[in-house]
Structure 1
Amino acid sequence: MSRYSVAALQHRYGSRWRWYALLTVMVTTMATVLSATSINVALADIMVTFNLSQGEVHWLATGYLAAMTVSMLCATWVLDHVGIRRATLISVLLFSVASVVGGLSQHTGQLLVSRLVLGALAGLMQPMSIFLVFRVFPPQQRGTVLGFYGFGIVLAPALGPVIGGFLVDYFSWRYVFYAPVPVTLMAAVLAWYFLPVKGPREQRYRFDFVGCALLSAVLVISLYMLNDLQYHPLWTARSIILLGLSLVSLVAFVVYERWVAHPLLNLALLFRRQFLYASCGALGLGLTMYGTTYLIPVFSQTALAYTPTDAGLLMLPAGVVLGATLLLGSRLTDIMLSRNLLLAGMVLVVVSALFFSQSAVGTSFVYLATCAVVSRLGMGLLLPSVSTGALNQLSPDELSDGSATISFVRQVGGAYGINIIALLITKTEGVSAQLLPLSEFSIAWLFMAVALIAMLLPVSRLRN
């Protein structure tokens, strides 16, 4: 028996082992979230360094999420063929290397490639974390466990902008890339001691390279088309061709995934009504989590002329509140319907977005911080209820597919949400050296509110 089999780890550490494993995946995910969120307060300085416009620099956030969206669907195959221990060790070490390379970037291409690699590695790690939680803890404890897991995760987006702002103001934006490295190295040590090796080898199956290529084409073409709308209207031949290519790729992906024996994305789950309704909540969560984390720093720095440190401090109270609310929300998921918590969380985020849309140049720091707090109150209810609402109805054999699919939907909400927000707040080139019109930010906040309102109806039909 291996020293790192589940039985050996349980014998060595007793009942505490499950919590040690939880701590390991929590630290791993914290590194990815820190990398995803701390970059936002550095975008203004990166724009100056590489002479980029707002429409170009947002690719550092969107590209990260797009790569993450595709790679997280590969997590099921990686879990089945490599195992969570080896995959985590390799991923966190490569993440450290890619972070350093990004910080040393001398041109835009190198910077973007490093962000794509970081996003791809993050996409592999996050579904593995949820998969482990649902594998080693019983159903009646999962809500509470997700709360503790989520509490650790929200420390990263709470502290990420503050740390990033401090590093940008007193050192350089390059140190924002270096910041996750100590966390990933810590995760590697924990993974070596506490994560189990893969169980008995099951029948191997081929990786879905065709599905991966088709999905990548859908995301790249459609996201590029959205970004291109800043310069070419939708009715131009260029935009129509890009739209047509993305739709053809999407249809080809759906048809192929329904036919192949081991699909990259288990579309059958999305044809189950209850899972589909929970997925709408995940879509709203992605838009909320990544959209606000991107929009608040950009809004405060470009429209209100905040320093990077002030922009980070603006989000700090909201992060603390999110951690506290997440613990409460996770307890509530064990005794309440996921539907009710999802609806309450979405309503709070809608209210926050509406109040943000009324901000003006003279709006006080307290008003903006309060709006951010209300938004994070909603997220504290959304985070645990999305996972339990979607995955508690699945069989153990479906958990890996289910966790990958629900994570994929969440990332789609974030990637397209940020892209649309960037489209709304700037429409022309040459805006990197001037303050953006506040009215454009108001439209972006209203878009977020309207999008979430549209998702309330399907979420209200969730029954489990």
Structure 2
Amino acid sequence: MTDQSVEGLRARYGDRWRWLAVVTVVLGTMATVLSATVVNVALHDIMVEFGIGQGQVHWLATGFIAAMTTTMLASAWLLDRFGVRITLSAAMAMFTLISLFGGFAPTPETLIAARIGQGAMAGLMQPMGMYLVFRIFPADQRGQAMGIYGMGVILAPALGPVLGGFLVDQFHWRWVMFAPAPVTLLGVWMALRFLPTPRARPVHYPFDLAGMVLLGSAIALTLETLNRMQNWSGETARVAIQVAVVIGLVVGFVIRERRVKHPLIRLALLRQPVFLYATIGAMALGLALFGSTYLIPLFVQTALGFSATEAGLLMLPAGIVLGMVFPVAGRLADRKSARGLVLFGMVMFAGSAILFATTGALVGFFWLALWAVLGRIGIGFMLPALSTGALNPLPPEQLGAGSSTVNFARQLGGALGVNVVALTIEFGEHQQGLPTFSAFASAWWLVAVFVALAAVPVWKMRA
């Protein structure tokens, strides 16, 4: 029988097996993050084909994000129970089947169900990469490895609109669902071949299902409430009731997590100042990444008249530059202060958001692409440093919980950021039913302010 332990893999492939393992988890990460963003350019065609409105179609994005954000926290239990090899390969296999099912969906209800299923599997896959890097790489190489892994996290949203626009314009919206399947199928083969099985696992403990139900319900209802607030007229009472229910769910979740022996979120980790500050920074990173990925295509298509393909191509230079920056930022994270690198990234991104906020109608493609590049450089410096800053101080037995918490915070920031940005645009100035430059400027200023405020706790991180 093939020895799939760390020692066996190192004996078979040498030290390069670590990088083969990183590539394996990058495939899963890219496929899942790509799926989270690529569907945005297909929403119009889906609405037309099924004859549905915004109130229903938004669940293709919101349902994915809510499921993904919630199931991320199950990854720590699955890692302890089954190990990274079985967990990741099974999640990739399920993601592949669900993607194919969604591509052939005959009704909007089945398509939404497929998107929720994709999100659930994506949430299980995303924390695996960070966990694996911090388990198999020594401390002085983790930043470099996170730089490579982080390319999957960051490049996918940058390239998603390009791929989505091409598939929708040249083929059919259903190809947006089919596209990730070959990648995750390859990932299943690589996971079974290159990922290790643990020699020993913790004593089995029960999964905090009640905690997940409470948290998942709170996240889904929060996103639904933010979406409903876009049409405030006549919804005041319902929104108020939903807000009260969300508060009750969150309070119930916190009470349970403080009492249960094996909680979904180990709140004790958040009592460590460096981990807490890095987690807040991760939320800001999620808001910056997903908020800008949502804003840029919508802005140039609505306000400047770009096509879906042109809007996607606008992000391509940013993706290429980010691919060059990430390995450099990862190496720096091994040698320099995490606090300094994150603050530099925040300044760069906030500057990019301000430039977009002050954009006029006559701005050219080149300048828009340049401002997107500046923002992605900032994001590129933030991710590896936040990961090393948060997880390096943790003992090995806490890495699973720590990585799932940091990933959860980043995804939650992205989920809330996209909805708050959409709400800001909706409340902004409109002409002939479309948001004006002023509405988009308000959204960009909001993103810049959020990132700037997150610099305060990041400043408190120790070098």
Q: Under TM normalisation by the shorter chain, which class is it?
A: over 0.9
Structure 1 range deviating more: 217-226 or 353-362 = 353-362
Contact 2:257 2:264 in 1 (8 A): yes
Supply the distance in 2 between the matched residues of 1:276 and 1:311 (Cα, whole angstroms): 36
Give % identity: 49
Pair 1:274–1:177, CA change in 2 (3 A): same
Q: Counterparts of 1:62-461 in structure 2 under 5 Å?
A: 62-232=62-232, 236-426=236-426, 435-461=434-460
Supply the distance in 2 between the matched residues of 1:308 and 1:45 (Cα, whole angstroms): 12
Contact 1:284 1:452 in 2 (8 A): yes
Q: Report the CA distance between 1:122 and its aligned residue.
A: 0.8
Supply the distance in 2 between the matched residues of 1:212 and 1:340 (Cα, whole angstroms): 35
The AA in structure 1 aligned to 2:439 is E
Pair 1:55–1:345, CA change in 2 (3 A): farther
Structure 1 range deviating more: 290-299 or 99-108 = 99-108
Supply the distance in 1 between the matched residues of 2:140 and 2:206 (Cα, whole angstroms): 35
Supply the distance in 2 between the matched residues of 1:383 and 1:213 (Cα, whole angstroms): 29
Structure 1 range deviating more: 387-396 or 144-153 = 144-153
Counterpart in the other structure of 1:37: 37
Q: Report the CA distance between 1:51 and its aligned residue.
A: 4.3
Contact 2:158 2:293 in 1 (8 A): no
The AA in structure 2 aligned to 1:448 is V
Q: Report the CA distance between 1:4 and its aligned residue.
A: 1.8
TM-score (normalizing by structure 1): 0.94
Pair 1:435–1:104, CA change in 2 (3 A): farther
TM-score (normalizing by structure 2): 0.95
Contact 1:37 1:160 in 2 (8 A): yes
Supply the distance in 2 between the matched residues of 1:106 and 1:84 (Cα, whole angstroms): 35
Deviations 1:84-107 (A, max 9, x none): 111111111111111122222233
Q: Report the CA distance between 1:267 and its aligned residue.
A: 1.1
The AA in structure 2 aligned to 1:35 is S
Q: Report the CA distance between 1:125 and its aligned residue.
A: 0.7
The AA in structure 1 aligned to 2:257 is E
Supply the distance in 2 between the matched residues of 1:159 and 1:30 (Cα, whole angstroms): 10
Pair 1:335–1:201, CA change in 2 (3 A): closer
Supply the distance in 1 between the matched residues of 2:152 and 2:411 (Cα, whole angstroms): 20
Pair 1:368–1:130, CA change in 2 (3 A): same
Contact 1:425 1:436 in 2 (8 A): yes
The AA in structure 2 aligned to 1:293 is T
For 2:4, what is the secondary structure of its paired residue?
Answer: coil
Deviations 1:280-311 (A, max 9, x none): 11011000111111221222222322111101
| TM-align CA RMSD | 2.0
Deviations 1:322-347 (A, max 9, x none): 11111221111111111111111111
The AA in structure 1 aligned to 2:287 is L
For 1:230, what is the secondary structure of its paired residue?
Answer: helix
Q: How many residues in Structure 1 have an aligned counterpart in Structure 2?
A: 461
Supply the distance in 2 between the matched residues of 1:29 and 1:119 (Cα, whole angstroms): 12
Structure 1 range deviating more: 191-200 or 280-289 = 191-200
Contact 1:85 1:191 in 2 (8 A): yes
Q: Structure 1 unaligned segments of length 5 or more: list them.
A: none
Contact 2:290 2:418 in 1 (8 A): yes
The AA in structure 2 aligned to 1:186 is L
Structure 1 range deviating more: 406-415 or 35-44 = 35-44
